[in-house]
Structure 1
Amino acid sequence: MPSIPQPLLPDDDGSAAPAVAAALRAFHAGTAGPADVLNALTGARVLVPVVALLTESEVGEHGLRQEKESEMALPKLVGKDGREAVLAFTSAESLARWRPDARPIQASALQVCQAAVGERAAAVVLDVAGPHSFVIEGAALTAMAAVASGSLPDSDDAITVTRLEEPAPQRRRFPWSRRR
């Protein structure tokens, strides 16, 4: 018989991790950089939404259409350019802002990045409906997925994973270097 996995945090009340909430507020206020948010997210729990998707309906005895069968689905965002993004939320409140009927599944931010790379998504969008959204994409997404898997990709374009630090003020880019 299959077993139901234990949640990451059994006593989770759905609140955002204080370090993550503070980093996102500071980033949006312009007093912190993306590296500060990524550092806070590295060990954080996020919530991935699951929604019911109607797959089959029927007309009931009173002539009304009713659900016959549904499946649970992990929704993705699709940009105007066709790129897909995985959704994640810092709290149950931010998830409910986006879609009140979605159900939260606990995951680490690193696991979500790893899943996004595995699904060939271009990004992870955090708190899409606010209060402070943040996008993880490109080298940052690849690096966080690599940390989650414990291995770097085999290619000449692989990235070196290091502790994230805010770059010098004149340079506004992620502080990872590429191996050649």
Structure 2
Amino acid sequence: MSVHGGGRSLASPAFPDDDGSTDPTLDLTDDTTVLATLGTARVFVPVVAVLGEQATDGSDKNSDMAAVLMTGADGRTALLAFSSIETMTRWNPNSRPVPVYGRDAARAAISEGASALLLDLAQPSFSVVETEDLEHLAAEHVLVTTPAGTAWVEPA
């Protein structure tokens, strides 16, 4: 559904009536359940103001909004995501939430050259989705439990 007016077309929000709490379909119990539920759950990717260049006329500097990438001691980068606005605000009260599905956050991480997605950084427990798991989430594969363990499968 789109809203039209004055020659413009505005898409309906992807998450109408979202109150910013943790998506009920996201299970944060342990790493396996996070992986199994993250792809189709709504999460928040924070964007922050990044100072731009000083204007040539001496006026104020400009700023741009950017998603946050963290660089680990080993040089690998990760995109930040949060399960709720509350957890994101505890990390940085000045960040702005961008609601996306977990699979889209994984795609964004990969497109930025990151090798991981950090979910709920700075919380008592946080999740790290790395490399192959990140690629599976981005490809919309589903993590299932079998008698032999867990496995990623392509949906039918």
TM-score above 0.5: yes
Q: Is the 8 A contact 1:125 1:136 kept in 2?
A: yes
- Unaligned 5+ segments in structure 1 are 28-33, 59-65, 148-160
**Structure 1 residues 126, 5: closer, same or farther in 2, change over 3 A?**
farther
Unaligned 5+ runs, structure 2: 1-6
More strand by share: 2
Per-residue CA distance 1:27-48 (angstroms, 9 max, x = gap): 2xxxxxx332122212110001
Could you say what the CA RMSD is over the residues aligned between the two structures, in angstroms?
2.6
AA matched with 1:52: A
Match of 1:44 among 25, 41, 45: 41
Q: Which residue in the other structure is 1:155 paired with?
A: none
1:85 maps to what in 2?
78
Runs (4 or more) in structure 1 with deviation over 4 Å come to 1-5
* Residue pair 2:36, 2:142 contacting (<8 A) in 1 also: no
Matched, 1:12 2:13: no
CA contact (8 A) 1:86 1:123 kept: yes
Residue equivalent to 2:100: 107
Indicate the structure with greater helix content: 1
TM value normalised by structure 2: 0.79
> Higher Cα Rg: structure 1 or 2?
1
TM-score when normalising by structure 1: 0.70
How much does 1:12 deviate? Answer: 0.9
Whole-angstrom distance in 2 between the partners of 1:132 and 1:146? 26
Aligned counterparts of 1:116 and 1:78: Cα–Cα separation in 2: 12
Give the share of equivalent positions with the same residue, in percent. Answer: 41
